[in-house]
Structure 1
């Protein structure tokens, strides 16, 4: 029998979606502004920050 206050193993959250979504949205935004590479890099950076934030919260 388990103790009622025992914590259940938690399922890790995935931040890879945020990274991919950031890159895709960055390319779309960059294409609108005729700066696809800059949009990709900005989207990658934003997705990376979000994914690292999820990773830190999940630790």
Structure 2
């Protein structure tokens, strides 16, 4: 599953992404969906930081 987030206010932002299904892998990708690095996770989901006007793409691999 691909999820895209967009920071539209022009400032830095933090976000938490939670899903209702188990995920075996979460990766940050570029806009062409090529893997860049693993996403930061904790026990409540993915922890994401966005720069001003950034489009962030996350690939989730369900269990």
Please tell me the TM-score bracket, short chain as reference.
under 0.3
Larger RCO (CA under 8 A, 6+ residues apart): 2
Greater strand share, structure number? 2
- Between Structure 1 and Structure 2, the one with more helix by share is 1
In our comparison, the structure showing a higher alpha carbon Rg is: 1
